[in-house]
Amino acid sequence: MEKSDETIFVDCPIAGVQKIVRGKWNMVILYFLHQQTLRFGELSRKLPTVTQAQLTKDLRLLEGYGLINRKVYPQVPPKVEYSLTAMGDQFMPVLRALEQFADVYEVKQA
């Protein structure tokens, strides 16, 4: 019996990770949050080509997966900070491996 694409996807241990990293900006957001805790505006300035709506969507997705924390301070004007969770920290070696791969690949292209 031949497996459908959907069955193969479910059977693959990488499938869950692919859901996290497939977003265009998700890995970049994780990279910046690994460096430091950031407010929405600070992240937005680091990603000037990303719309506020897209950044909000990606932050909510990463928060939903448990990779980032969203801390809201009860003050006026509102203050919200984003940081990595312990799970987000555990993802960083994967991100660093991808970064190293990109560095090697760029050297080969030169």
Could you tell me the pTM of the whole model?
A: 0.80
The domain locations on the chain are: 5-109
Q: So what's the pLDDT on residue 21?
A: 78
Q: So what's the pLDDT on residue 11?
A: 72
Q: So what's the pLDDT on residue 4?
A: 57
Q: So what's the pLDDT on residue 64?
A: 94
CATH of domain 5-109: 1.10.10.10
> In the chain, which stretches have pLDDT less than 70?
1-10, 107-110
CB under 8 A, 24+ apart: contacts of 32-40: 33/68, 33/82, 33/83, 33/84, 33/88, 34/84, 34/88, 34/89, 34/92, 34/95, 37/81, 37/82, 37/83, 38/81, 38/82, 38/83, 39/79, 39/80, 39/81, 39/82, 40/80, 40/82
